[in-house]
Structures are given as structure tokens and as C-alpha cells.
A and B are shown apart, each in its own frame.
Chain A
Amino acid sequence: MSVTNAQNAKNDDDASRRPEPPEPVLRPDSGVEKRRNLGVGSFILLGVGAFVFLFPFYYMLIGSLQTAPDTSIFGAFPNPANITGANYVQINESINLFRGLLNSGIFTGGVIFFTVVFGLLVGYALAQMKFRGRGVVFGMMLLVQMIPFQLLLIPLYVMIVRDYGLADSFLGMILPFAINSTAVFVFRQYFLQLPSTLFEAARIDGASELRILWQIAIPLVRPAIVTAVLLTFIGPWNEFLWPFLVTKEQSLQPLAVSLANFISNIAGQAGNPFGAILAGACVLAAPAVALFIFFQRQFISTNIGSSVKG
């Protein structure tokens, strides 16, 4: 935001150099001066917002560590006498946390793998290769993003679970999400930014398209791969409905599904049900939150904007 700063500073200079107009005396809070003061209101608004957004996560952690659920106001503060790790042990006995995380990882990893491999191919082709039907493929990619999942729910269930017998399998879980069109769009946008002369030169030198993609294009768009992985990650890691329909066998369920089953079926029988639920929630939330804090620079508004603006 240094650009805006510089502009503001320049603006202030201009204002001070100008001959004093009569108005500012009447309206001391208007004009450029006002614009600089706006920060305070924004800060208060953002601060309140940040509290509302972050408090449930803090409360999730505190609640997961309490021996007995304390829902009084004081329960929101850590109390050493009431802290325990027992909830994590308890939830791990009901649903195998490690197995759940592993399943979530395989499911998410599979989706990311297909998205990146086939997305890079089609993204590169759309951006830098001229072939008959390119417009059709591009139009298709835009249309796909508008297909509503509610309409696909029943036929996909009939096809994948009933006709192909892929229930309780990772392939059945992955298939409806295998290629994320939003990520394909991100790849295409990044490949478009590369000068086409670069690729023409390589073609003249006799490099095959696959080699150009692998040795020239992909190394230049690494940030796109990180962005696409992050965008793709959220979907399957957080997805509940589809794997819930496909997996009935507990040992194959992603953590989101087994935790949801715990919430709706088993929690009532547990000694400290909320403690156990919150402990499971922390385990499910931690990888995604950690990943996004670590890669937050790549997950910025322009990427999101370019991926959905069309």
C-alpha cells in the first residue's frame, strides 16, 4: 500500500502549497485532512470485526481443554485448575483422529493432484497454444463454474455409488471434485501473462510442447501453483456432504465426516461431549488455518478476484 501512501503525501503537499481557501475555516473536518483521519473509525470497525471472527476459534481451543464445560463468562478465560488434555484422548477413542486426518489428506491430495496436473495442461493450452476448438474449451470452462451441485447430487450418487460401485472408495470421493475449474482459470490467467514470444522461440528451437511446458512455463508460474493448491485445498478438506454420502465405512471417512457423525450420533453418550467435539474441531481446523497463515501472501484478493470475475 506504499503507493497510496505516496499519493496521500503528495496530495497533502499540494494542499499546503495552494493558497488558503476560505472554506476550511468553516469546515475544518472536510477535505484531505478528513481522509487521513478516517483510519480511526476503520480501525475500530475492523477491531470489532476481528474479535467477532476470532473469538469462536479462541473459545474452541479453551473449550477443548476444559475438564468440565464452563459456560459462564469466566469460562472464556483459561483456568489452570480446569485444564486437561483428556478431551483429545476421549475423541480419539471414539473416532480415530489419525486415520481421519489421513483419509482427509488422501482425499484432498487426490483432488489437488488431478487439478494441478490436468489443470496445468489445459491452462497452458488455453493460454499459449493455438488450436482448433480452443474457444469451445474456454467457453466450457466458464460454463462449468455455473453448474449447481444440487442438480448433480442425485445423478452423481446414482452413477458413482450405484452404477460404478465406487461407494467406500477414495476414487468415488475424489471424482466429483477431481478437476477444479477455478484453479484451471487461475493457471490460464498466469500463463497468459507470460510473453508468447518466449514460447515461439522455444518452438523454433525444436522443443516439444510438453518440454516447453515442463521446463519453461511451469517454473515461471510457481506462484500460480501455490494459489491453485490453496484454492483447491479448501474444498475437499472442508467438504462434508459428498464424502458423507459416499462413505459408510468408518475407517475410510475423512475427519470432517467422522466428527460430524460424532456430533450427531455419539456425542450424547460422552462424559464431556462438548470438550470432545471441540477437541476434534481443533484437530480438523488446525491444518487449514496453519496452511493459510503460512501462505497468506499467496492468498490475496487479486487472486480470488481474478478467479471468479470471469
Chain B
Amino acid sequence: MSLRSSSGNPVTGKPAGGTADRRLVPRKRKNFLGPQPLGLLFSAPYVIYVLAVLAFPLGYAVYISFHDFFFTAPRVKVDRPFVGFDNYITVLSDPAVQRSFLNIGVFMIINVPLTVGLSLLLANALNRITRFKTFFRLSYYVPYVTASVAVVGVWLFLFQQNGLLNTGLGPLAPAPSWLVNSWLAMPTVALYVTWKQLGFFILLYLAALQNIPDELYESASVDGGNKWVQFWNITVPGVRPASVLVTLLATITGANLFTEPYLLTGGGGPDGASASPVFIMYQRGLLQGNPDVAAALGVVLVIGVLLIALIQKRLVGGKED
């Protein structure tokens, strides 16, 4: 791809311009920084920003997690002794934390396959029709572009004890209603998030579907392969790199879960059944004043996501890409 070749050259420090460039910029000093050293200046604000606001805090998080860290007034110097893995032991032996990881597991088991399956199915259908394409595409990404806080309001209204959904279900409605039922709270949150994010993943799959050559479908249909044969043998393998990305992004969404359980179930209710790790981080770190424990939880969570991502890449990715 052009990406790699264009970024590969400058690493070696050799200007790709060749003779023309050398003639234009005769001074050696300038050549050391490349033909357009101003590029460094142009990149500077971004680079400084990334270092100060993203890279430094990343290291700071790990530092905090290994020290006895507590909040002080600004610019007060206090002793923050190194405590080794104490914070990690505190976090991992906390039943609420264990519960939150279990919750997020339930969330992912529902959310990830639903997201991948539904977005591929809908993107594939969207790719096959020619009329009303814009309308359908718009209707799918409306939930995605809308603030979660806004749509949470409707879901609360729909899923409450005597809400439209339960009215419609009649005697089939679950006894403690959806969001106050300790078995259904997390699955309901997972459904909500799937619905909310699906539009984005549909767009991702639509982009991937453009890369599958039409001839493949044509030759398959000439060979007598029906819709399902074509879907399983051409579409699904054809969008495999996108599937890897979608599973990864859906997993990350799960690990970042906060707003939805916070608002839908009043902050992790009933009885912690929908508490997410990020919610526990907020609770332990900022409400109870233990940022060190919260930072350790953050590190554990990220390592967990990385492990899951690796496993997923093995499973979904196969040999390709």
C-alpha cells in the first residue's frame, strides 16, 4: 500500500526527491533535517500534545498503580512510597471487581457476536439494494451519532416496569423488570449498546464490501451458488480483516463501558449486577479517594483487553493479515 512506502522512506533519512531536491536546497545543514525541515515545526504541536496528554499519563498510570497514591491539594509535596503489587492484590481480591469483570464478560458474549453478525448482515443487504440506500444508511447511523445520554432516556421509558415493551409482551414480561432484574440488567445494557453502535460497524463493513470484486459473485452465481453459499464463501472471507477490526473495536467498547450502566441501571444496580470495571474505577478512585487502586484496575483491564484481542485475532483472523 501507498501508506507504507510513503512513510518508509523518511525513516532512512534519505530524501526521496533525488537530484531535483538537491539542486533546489544546496545547503548541507538543511539536508540533515530533510528538504522541508519546516515539517518538524508543523508537526510540533501535535507531537507535544501526544507526549504531554497521552504518552505521559500512560506512564503515570503505571507509576500510580505501584505507589501509595492519594489526592492532595495542588502542589503539595507528600511522600508516596512504592508498594509493589499491593494495589493489584487489593483490586484482584475485591469481590466487586471480580463481579464487574464477570459482568463485562456477559456483556461481550452478547454484544460482540451480535454486533459482528448483525452489522455484516445489514451491510451486505445495504450493499445489494439500489433504491432508498440513503434513507436506510441514515436510519442506521442516527443512533450512533446521537448522545448516549439522550437515547438512554427513551430506553428507560421503553423498558420500565410498565413501559411499552412490557405492555406489548403482556404476561410474558419478566417479573422484576428488565433493568432491575439481576439476570437481565447486563444483557439489556448489552442490547442497548449493540443497537447504539451498530451504525458505525455497518459503515465499516460497507467499506470492506467495496473491496470484494463483483466477478467473484458473478462466477459463483454462474456456478449455481445460491445466496447463502455466496454469503458464506465469498462475503464472509472477503471481509475478514474488517471482522478482526470490528471484534476488536466491540471488545474495546465493552471495556470502556460506563455511561450506559451508570444511567440505565442507576450505577451498576441491581446489587452490582451491571457494574462495569470503569464504573468501579470511578467509584474506588474518585468517590472513595483511592486513585492507586483504580489505576491498578485500569492496568489490569487494559492487559485483559490486549489478551482478548490477541485470542480474537487468532480465532477470527486466521492466517490472513
Contacts and interface: CB of A to CB of B under 8 A. Distances in A.
Judge: A and B partners, yes or no: yes
Interface of A: 1, 4-5, 7, 11, 23, 27, 29-32, 34-35, 38-39, 41-43, 45-46, 49-50, 52-54, 56-57, 59-60, 63, 69, 71-73, 75-76, 118-119, 121-122, 124-127, 129-141, 144, 147-159, 162-165, 175-176, 178-179, 181, 184, 192, 200, 203-204, 209-210, 213, 234, 237-238, 240-241, 245, 256-257, 259-260, 263-264, 274, 277-278, 280-282, 284-285, 288-289, 291-293, 296, 299-302, 304-306, 308-310
A256 B149 contact: yes
Interface string B147-180: 1111111111110101110011000000000000
B140 A49 contact: yes
Contact of A154 (B34, B141, B157, B291): B291
Contact of A259 (B57, B149, B249): B149
5 contacts: A129-B35, A131-B36, A238-B145, A280-B153, A288-B147
Given A1-B133, A147-B54, A159 B286 contact: no
Contact of A46 (B10, B32, B129, B207): B129
B24 A69 contact: no
Interface string B187-228: 000000001001110011011101000100110011010110
B57 A130 contact: no
A281 B204 contact: no
Interface in B39-75: 39-40, 42-43, 45-47, 49-50, 53-54, 56-58, 60-61, 64, 69, 71-72, 74-75
A264 B266 contact: yes
B263 A263 contact: yes
A274 B153 CA distance: 8
A8 B286 CA distance: 60
Given A129-B34, A256-B148, A264-B263, 11 more contacts: A38-B128, A41-B227, A46-B132, A46-B136, A144-B54, A150-B301, A158-B60, A163-B75, A260-B149, A299-B141, A305-B208
Contact of B145 (A59, A131, A288): A288
A197 to B, nearest CB: 10
Contacts of A52: 195
B267 to A, nearest CB: 7
B263 A284 contact: no
Nearest to A7: B214
Nearest to B266: A264
A245 B262 CA distance: 13
Interface stretch (B1-9, B95-103, B108-116, B310-318): B1-9
Contact of B136 (A1, A35, A50): A50
Contact of B61 (A30, A118, A155, A308): A155
A250 to B, nearest CB: 15
A16 to B, nearest CB: 14
Interface in B116-140: 121-122, 124-126, 128-130, 132-140
Given A49-B140, A150-B301, A285-B147, A158 B64 contact: yes
Contact of B285 (A75, A136, A157): A157
Contact of A73 (B144, B168, B245): B168
Interface residues of B, number: 128
A155 B129 contact: no
Q: B-side binding surface: helix, strand, loop or mixed?
A: helix
Contact of B218 (A11, A71, A301, A310): A11
B305 interface: yes
B84 interface: no
Given A11-B218, A256-B147, A302-B207, A153 B72 contact: no
Contact of A130 (B10, B124, B136, B198): B10
B46 A296 contact: no
Contacts of B227: 34, 38, 41
Contact of A137 (B47, B163, B168): B47
B16 A130 contact: yes
B214 A4 contact: yes
Nearest to A23: B224
B122 to A, nearest CB: 5
A140 B50 contact: yes
Contacts of A192: 2, 6
Contacts of A306: 207
